[in-house]
Amino acid sequence: MIKPVVLLMASALSLAGARPSADLLRKQPSPALALELSLPDSTDSVAMKRAYSAAFREQFAAGLLADPNPPASERIQFIVMIGQRTVRTETEANINTGMDRAAAIATRSPFGLLRSAIGPKSSYENQVERLGYRPSVITGQVVLLKPGKDGFQETLRLESMPILNHMRPLGENDRTIEGILAEESRAVALETLALLKQKFGWVPPGS
């Protein structure tokens, strides 16, 4: 089954015709956006949707439309699609460490053997050490879409490491599903804001 989001995007492209223009996003004050979240199914779907909705409302504030059904002429659809959201296990880290040690022994590299024995072997494991918990590895897309004759569509990629860099350490009592989800969704919202500013100069009105 084709999702409504996909149908809406295809419709906008057919109406927009040639190369779409996102100049409207560069105007000041920046136009408010109509948020739609597309999150993966999981056992914590309800808590995840609640956390993401709250984080985007907090970080974007007046940058999001309060009216869920604004006039078409004012509507810029802002679709945040999370495609992957997985937690890498300690088993994966141990396998990587073992492979590093085997490679160091095979190449007779004392430095490689020492490096494999003293700490995290990936950017993700470094983040685990910094944060004090194992965060989700997240990738996705952000789509900005305005249907109609003068409409446009712009797609931005959400990458995992910039999102992890936005996340903050949590105290032991806050390392609950809800606490980690709140920090994860905040990081995704912050990275989305950074991408919009970098690509279009868009910032929430009143910032």
Query: Does the structure show a pLDDT above 90 at 16?
Result: no
- Please state, in angstroms and rounded to a whole number, the distance separating the CA atoms of residues 194 and 199: 9
HSE toward the beta carbon, residue 200, CA cutoff 13 A: 24
Domain ranges of the chain: 4-87+141-200, 89-133
Tens-place pLDDT, residues 21-65: 688 899 889 999 999 999 999 888 999 999 999 999 999 999 999
Alpha carbon dihedral 190, 193, 197, 201, in 10-degree steps, equals -150
- Position 5 confidence tier, pLDDT thresholds 50, 70, 90: low
Query: Does the structure show a pLDDT above 50 at 185?
Result: yes
Predicted pLDDT at 139: 96
Query: Does the structure show a pLDDT above 80 at 96?
Result: no
Cβ–Cβ under 8 Å, residues 64 and 192: no
Cβ–Cβ under 8 Å, residues 5 and 81: yes
Taking the model in full, what pTM does it have? 0.78
Predicted pLDDT at 70: 74
